Amino acid sequence: MLPEEWEREIRHLCAEGQCLRAAETARAARTAHPGDLRIAVLSALVTARTGGEEAALTELERLSPDVVPAPAAIEEIVDRFAGRTLPPLPAGEAPPSQQIGEHRRLAVDVLADAADIFLEGWERDADPRHLRRARDLWLVHWDRSGNGGSLSSAARLTWLLGDPTGSRRMAETAVTRLGDSSAAPTTFESLAARALAQMILGQPEEALETLARLAYLGDHNHLPKALARRALAELAAHGLPVPPEAFARLTPPGMVVFAAPPWPAGAVPMLPDDDVVRSALRPVMNEWRPDIAYTGAMPGPDLLFVEAMLEQGGEVNLVLPFAIDEFVAAHVAPAGQVWETRFRSALARAASVTVASPDPYNADGLLFHLAGLITRGIVCARAAKLGARPYLILAGPTTADLDLTLAADWGCKARLRVLDLTLHPPPRPAPKAPQRTIRAMLFADIAGYGQLGDDQLPLFWDRMSAVVQDICGERNCPVLAESWGDAIYLVMQSAAAAADAAFALADAVPVLADPALPEGLALRIGLHAGPVFSGIHPLTGRPMVSGSAVTRTARIEPVVEPGRIYASEQFAAILAWETASDSTPGPYYCEHLGPLPLAKGCCVQSVCHLRRRSVAPALHPVDGSPGVDQVPTVLRPTRPG
């Protein structure tokens, strides 16, 4: 394969969220083309995306003479905006470097990727050197491409570096290069970049006029709008006057969770009349005007809500408790062919379909509860990314059947509606024994444990005992704790408790740095949450927890990179819900890595890299701006071509 073919494949995998496959492909590409600069920088980007920021930064530092010009050349570009070398370029005129030759633009396509890596390094450790490197990369991108969005990003980071004069000079040229905001056609990103540059120049009226044009580009640019809002909040936090109207032009999307109780499996449901449900929904839909919805797909209120969302052009995301075919057989087909047709239509038009658990249904209803937890977690995570505050609609046959626990846990009652569709559902069948419960599970082992000799084992376990109190404290007392050899198996009541235990174990690694122990000891930790059976082991008489969810957790752990903590997407969603807050981000966050083949050919599982949130740079909202922890900080400019 040619380098550009490798590059397209790596970028495609990243765009699909398959970061682990992208990393594997990047390694193969570097082997095939060891001297290709684009492949090298893209490989560093993928390394950062899979949790190796330090390694990525180190690699970029090594490559930087090829990616970034020498400091004197950077200074020459900066000087240009002081008017000492060249005047600001008029729109349409290429920068001098474009007139020199192709070799000066070798790394243009990856400069933005490299800038992102350094910017993420700054977000993690607040090191201004990383911020300055990101700014320099945007400047070089501008110098080699003439892209006004790149220069707008450089102006923004220059302001954050405490140089308002230099920032304004860059912003002035960026506005010129980006052209007249009234001209069409244009893109959301170029308009947002122009508005940011105008705000830096102290032209709030012009910036507001540019932001007003964003409405003409449609209401579905949710993430670009959130990134622009975050960028404005950063600038405001660093002293730039930003009028509240600017944030009003970048309002987050309306998000809603719709929940209705399931009918018993196989029962012919007494469904409410369509018009009754539509009449109950109409006032809420008119008041909240949701853009994005997450819901189940049961016949009756669920599917009627889906249809109402689609009629008004909204985005619908379905979360099913178990496999689609089994769900249809148990809960859709008994309602009749008409409802099955409506279900298939909703499935085809949904923006996403998530299956909460691969486990069989067993008609005990627990998987519906799991689907509800996962739905709330997905919504919390996405709402944080988009700066949105989700709403909840509870609808059901009788008030007693509604998920009152969910209503009680919902953070803001002003964003909650209960629709009482007064009907009497058929009686529920008696539950089958034994009953399943939802638990979070942790499997861990120690890479390098096999190097330990018998004379070292007592010291090793003495060091490990230092974390027992943290793992088994009052908050985190395991439901079950087992260990054999270097393996550790914990079952916890909640995902948050399991995450606490995972990081307590991870924190023990420095304790193992003893001259009397082998070097390179590292933990691999896998986390999952799902339905399990609890009972007493017939041979040992001790408590046991069993089920396919336990097996899945055990199969995640062997494929974890040493020193990392991987979690299933189910665990990540439940953790997001348990730690959600309207005011502050939770202590943990998950980076999606994509599908990963598990050990022993178990299955392919979508996994995340679980990280502990560090203290972010001091970016505090002012003038009514949103909290900047609500959305990502990276604002990507319009790419050339």
Give the bridge partners for 444, in sequence order: 488, 525
pLDDT score at 72: 63
Mean pLDDT of the chain: 79
pLDDT, position 506: 85
Helices (H) and strands (E) in the chain, counts: 24, 14
**Cα–Cα distance for residue pair 46/455, rounded to 1 Å:** 41
CA dist 489 → 551, 554, 590 (Å): 11, 9, 21
Given a contact cutoff of 8 angstroms between Cβ atoms, the answer to whether 230 and 387 are in contact is yes
DSSP strand pairing (416-420 vs 391-396):
parallel
Burial 305-323 (b: 16+ CB within 10 A, else e): bbbbbbeeebbbbbbbbbe
In the DSSP assignment, the letter for residue 600 is G
Note the pLDDT of residue 196: 95
Q: Residue 307 has what pLDDT?
A: 95
Alpha helices by DSSP H, 33-161: 37-49, 53-67, 71-80, 108-125, 128-145, 148-160
Q: What's the average pLDDT block by block, 10 residues per block, for the chain (641 residues)? A: 87 77 88 84 81 75 64 61 43 42 48 80 82 88 84 94 93 86 64 93 93 73 84 93 91 91 72 84 90 93 94 93 93 91 95 89 84 89 87 70 57 78 52 74 85 77 65 68 82 92 82 71 90 83 87 93 91 89 76 86 89 57 37 31 32
For the chain, the helix, strand and coil percentages under 3-state DSSP, each to the nearest 5? 50, 15, 35
How is 132-188 classified by DSSP, letter by letter? HHHHHHHHHHHHHH--HHHHHHHHHHHHHTT-HHHHHHHHHHHHHHH--TTSSS--H
Q: How many CA atoms lie within 13 A of 348 on its CB side?
A: 6
Is residue 604 a contact partner of residue 598, using CB atoms and an 8 Å limit?
yes
Beta strands 352-355 and 315-320: pairing type?
A: parallel
State the pLDDT at residue 625. 39
Tokens at 348, concatenated? 């085809």
- Three-state DSSP state, 529: strand
pLDDT digits (tens, 9 = 90+) for 25-67: 988 998 999 888 778 888 888 887 777 777 777 777 777 666 5
Residue 569: closest CA among 610, 630, 603? 610
- The pLDDT value recorded for residue 577 is 87
Question: What's residue 532's pLDDT?
Answer: 92
Q: For position 101, what pLDDT does the model report?
A: 37
Rounded distance between C-alpha atoms, residue 514 and residue 517, angstroms: 5
Q: Which residue has the tokens 């070398």?
A: 85
Give residue 181's identity as a one-letter amino acid code: S
| CA dihedral angle for residue 82, residue 85, residue 88, residue 90, rounded to 10 degrees | 180
Q: How far is CA 573 from the centre of its chain?
A: 10
Q: Determine the Cα–Cα distance for residues 525 and 612; give it in Å rounded to an integer.
A: 14
